[in-house]
Chains A and B, each alone.
Chain A
């Protein structure tokens, strides 16, 4: 038992802090504190360029692909420092789906050619990749995807449709789960393909979200093409590659979620004070419960990081973590609406500038618009990346070993 980071990571953390001190403007209070949403987005674009210039993207990647050859724990220390300073890791969602998810997946499964062609371009920002997993007929039942690809000479030809594709409207490519062998059993007929978006066979249509924003899209493929070498893993490996990709989020989230949720809860405490609700015994119980839950997230995070460090399978803590934080977030954002009462449903103040989870650090605790946006984000949180119902099935079947649901006709 030991919660300390190794000395090399502590040194790196000091380096990150020094870079932040040099690069950030005086009086910096987090992206949430920037006056307007427009200015926030402009700042983040510039900040991403700064991170690239200072070598802070892909620190755990090998040197030959533009990384710094450090460890996963260095990356975790980096995102902790960024989060504490009220800064994002690059631009979202592109750097999450690109640098974090696709980049790490290629390092594990990609060919040398794929790694050289894509990894440095992900870091420079020249390439931005989005994730194409869900389809109109394949949501929770992801293995039933019907978008298909067939090899014609030196190219894959793709037909079908993906949906809920975050950032497709600004991306240059999509990594997609497609059916390459219709005769094989459900999971085994799938492959993981890299498809450029700028071509006649691809049509990207933004979807307007309940918040009014358009951060995700539908992507239509009509004889879209990609070179034969743009498959990750072998044909039929798609399910395995996609499953591993999803675990890359876990380690970093384990470290950053508790920081974001703690900062949000501090804003909620401040809101309760400003609204004069902080002495209401019912509200106090809910606030205290939230406080305990955020701390438990921190402890679960330590367990997940320990698993990551040990290099083995992620354990139970990682399986429960998504359900835990997403259900917590629904509860705490409802509490924010309760604390404000009817007047909180009149929208004032700056909008939330992150499409997922909490608003940015430094956000105004009195912005009813921010709390409303975030409460909608929280409702999405129990749906994306595996609904709470699917998470419970996974926990019951894989952790507790309960029997699978019998399939019709089986």
Chain B
């Protein structure tokens, strides 16, 4: 019985944190978020070359370190703490998707940091796992894909897209290279630290990666929810630290505001949710690596960590008072990251609803109509 990080995890965390102190300092984040690309190729190549982060959760046969989601989660937690601007989650998810479809060459390219990748699954106004309107048509020179995806992470800069599309046989996953037939348009969102795009595919050349999309996509989304949850834990932890540190030194009425129970209790309630989130994210990553109750654990982590991050980011601003509402202070950047992250893959209400059917409370047709 040992449900805690191993010393190797603590070492990994320490080295990533030390590295990000430099690469994702507040000034670096502000510079990167205002750049055209939204991230710095120089910092990214250092993350790939010196820390080999994209290769972390990749089997050794593809040149990876053989880790799992627990290890990748440690890294994403640190990325969340610092608001790192980099195609780490997007490329990491593309890799995890391709590992399920055994597209070895592309995995090795992405893992080595030579290229970046991303998931293109969601279509405007629809759920991530809805049957795609995007079509894939077989031809003499392979498949061609036509359709529009949005909320594609780092979609304007990605080299490789993992795209869901409908074929006459059902939903499948395809690989599409950036270039001919692919047009990406940046979407302006609430969160300047994470770039997303609308990507239009117009008879874009594609390779079939996985035929059985109906099985693959839910599994990829569970992985995505678990990794995003790990990032949200980092966001929440950092916000709680900032608020606590400020409450210790800000003096009003002749004493630190953190000595007032109104402030203490607020931060204790944040701590409660942060600890819940930490436990849920760690369990979900562990469950995925060990093949336990992944879907349930992912939904719990998704709901718990999303809400914890938003709570912590919001209370951080409240404790800081006026200064927390300024552009100069980083508190708003965390609030923005938490706000988008909370709804990015699935609303917390939807995560929660997913827990009920396996627990014996399916929604009946009558209940469905009432929605």
Contact, CB under 8 Å: A406 / B255: yes
CB of B318 within 8 A of chain A? Answer: no
* Contact yes or no, B279 A400, CB < 8 A: no
Q: Which residues of A contact B256 (CB under 8 A)?
A: 402-403
Chain A residues positioned under 8 Å from B240 (CB to CB): 400
> In the bound complex, do residue A403 and residue B303 qualify as a contact, i.e. CB atoms below 8 Å apart?
no
Residues of B within 8 A of A278 (CB): 361, 367
A side interface size, CB within 8 A: 53
Contact B3 A292 (CB under 8 A): no
Is A393 among interface residues, defined by CB-CB distance under 8 A?
yes
B259, B286, B367: the one contacting A3 at CB < 8 Å is B286
User: How far apart are the CA atoms of A278 and B355 in the complex, in Å?
Assistant: 13
Candidate in B1, B244, B364 with the most chain A CB atoms within 10 angstroms:
B1
User: Are A296 and B1 also in contact (CB < 8 A) when A288-B356, A396-B265 are?
Assistant: no
Q: Produce 1/0 per residue, A393-410, CB < 8 A to B.
A: 101110111111110000
Q: Is the CB of A395 within 8 A of B300?
A: no
Verify if A272 is at the interface (C-beta below 8 Å from B). Answer: yes
Against B, the Cβ 8 Å flags (1 = close, 0 = not) of A1-40 are 1111110000000000000000000000000000000000
* Given A288-B352, A324-B276, A396-B258, residue A302 in contact with residue B370 (CB < 8 A): no
Contact in complex: B264, A393 (CB < 8 Å): yes
Q: Are A405 and B244 in contact (CB under 8 A)?
A: no
Total B residues in contact with A, Cβ cutoff 8 Å: 51
Q: What CA separation (Å) do A399 and B268 show in the bound complex? A: 9
Best-buried of A3, A272, A273, A391 by chain B (most CB within 10 Å): A3
Flag if A1 contacts B248 (CB, 8 Å). no
In the complex, which residue of chain A has the Cβ closest to the Cβ of B3? A302
Asked whether A300 and B1 contact (CB < 8 A) given A288-B355, A292-B300, A392-B264, the answer is: no
Which stretch, A98-106, A173-181, A227-235, A315-323, touches the partner chain B?
A: A315-323
Q: Check A269 against B360 for contact (C-beta < 8 Å).
A: yes
- B279, A289: Cβ atoms closer than 8 Å: no
With an 8 A cutoff between CB atoms, is A151 at the interface?
A: no
A295 to B345, CA, bound (A): 21
Q: A278-B361, A402-B247 are in contact. Are A303 and B272 (CB under 8 A)?
A: no
Q: Bound complex: CA of A310 vs CA of B276, how far in Å? A: 21
B264 engages A320 (CB within 8 Å): no
Which of chain A's residues have a CB closer than 8 A to the CB of B261?
389, 392-393, 405
A316 touches B1 (CB 8 A): no
Select A306's contact among B1, B268, B363, B367, beta carbons within 8 Å: B1
Are B366 and A279 in touch, CB under 8 angstroms? Answer: yes
In-complex Cβ contact of B1 among A2, A272, A395 (8 A):
A2
Quick one: closest B residue to A300, CB to CB?
B279
The verdict on A292 contacting B271 (CB below 8 Å), with A3-B3, A279-B364 known, is no
SS class, residues of chain B in contact with chain A = helix
Contact A296 B352 (CB under 8 A): no
Residues of B within 8 A of A406 (CB): 255, 259
Which residue of chain A is the closest to B240 with respect to CB atoms? A400
| Cβ–Cβ contact A299 & B3, under 8 A | yes
Q: Mark B256-285, 1 if CB is under 8 A from A, else 0.
A: 101101011101110110011001101100
Q: Which residues on the A side are within 8 Å of B271 (C-beta)?
A: 316, 320, 395-396, 399-400
Which B residues touch A291, using CB under 8 A? 352, 355-356, 359
Most buried by B among A1, A389, A393: A1
Q: In this assembly, does A117 line the interface, its C-beta being within 8 Å of a C-beta of chain B?
A: no
* Per-residue B-contact encoding for A242-283, CB less than 8 Å = 1, 0 else: 000000000000000000000000100100110000110100
A317 with B275: CB separation less than 8 A: yes
Residues on the A chain within 8 Å of B315, using CB: none
Contact A284 to B353, CB < 8 A, known contacts A395-B268, A401-B244: yes
Structural contact, B356 and A284, CB atoms closer than 8 A:
yes
From A266, A303, A404, residue with most partner B Cβ within 10 Å: A303
- Asked if A287 and B364 make an inter-chain contact with CB atoms under 8 angstroms apart, the answer reads no
Within 8 A of B (CB), among A35-77: 73
B281 to chain A minimum Cβ distance, whole angstroms, is 9
The verdict on B91 contacting chain A, using a C-beta distance below 8 Å, is no
Most B CB atoms within 10 A — which of A285, A399, A402?
Answer: A402
Q: Say yes or no: is B55 at the interface (Cβ < 8 Å to chain A).
A: no
B32 within 8 Å of A (CB atoms): no
Cβ-based interface call for A309 (8 A): yes
Please give me the residue from chain B that is nearest to A262 by CB atom. B359
| Inter-subunit contact A292/B352 (CB<8 Å) | yes
Known: A296-B304, A305-B3. 7 other contacts (CB 8 A): A266-B360, A281-B367, A281-B371, A292-B300, A296-B300, A393-B268, A395-B268
A-B contact pairs, 16 of them (CB 8 A): A1-B70, A278-B361, A284-B361, A288-B352, A292-B303, A295-B280, A302-B1, A324-B272, A393-B264, A396-B264, A397-B264, A400-B267, A400-B271, A402-B244, A402-B256, A406-B255
Interface residues of B (CB under 8 A from A): 1-6, 70, 240, 244, 247-248, 255-256, 258-259, 261, 263-265, 267-269, 271-272, 275-276, 279-280, 282-283, 286, 296-297, 299-300, 303-304, 349, 352-353, 355-356, 359-361, 363-364, 366-367, 370-371
Pairs A-B, 5 closest by C-beta atoms: A279-B367, A302-B3, A288-B352, A396-B264, A392-B268
Interface residues of A (CB under 8 A from B): 1-6, 73, 266, 269, 272-273, 278-279, 281, 284-285, 287-289, 291-293, 295-296, 299-300, 302-303, 305-307, 309-310, 316-317, 320, 323-324, 389, 391-393, 395-397, 399-406
